[in-house]
Amino acid sequence: MSSPGAGKTSLILETIRMLKKKTRIGVIEGDISSSIDAEKVKREKVPVLQINTGGECHLDAAMVNRALENMPLDDLDLLFIENVGNLVCPGEFKLGEDRKALIVSVPEGDDKIYKYPLLFHLADAVVINKIDLLPYTKFDVDGFSKALKGFNRKARLFQVSCTTREGIEDWTDWVVSAVRRRKRPSQNKP
What digits encode the pLDDT tens for the residues 71-90?
Answer: 999 999 999 998 887 888 77
Flag whether 188 is in a domain: no
Q: Got the DSSP string for 117-163?
A: HHHHHH-SEEEEE-GGGGGGS---HHHHHHHHHHH-TTPEEEE--TT
* Count of alpha carbons within 13 angstroms of residue 140, beta-carbon side: 9
- The pTM for the full model equals 0.92
Flag whether 2 is in a domain: no
What digits encode the pLDDT tens for the residues 157-172?
Answer: 999 999 999 999 999 9
CA distance 45 to 43: 5
Q: Give the CATH number for residue 28.
A: 3.40.50.300
Flag whether 23 is in a domain: yes
Flag whether 190 is in a domain: no
pLDDT of residue 184: 60
Flag whether 63 is in a domain: yes
Flag whether 110 is in a domain: yes
Q: Domain span at residue 60?
A: 8-183
pLDDT of residue 93: 77
CB 31 within 8 A of CB 50: yes
Domains in the chain: how many in total?
1
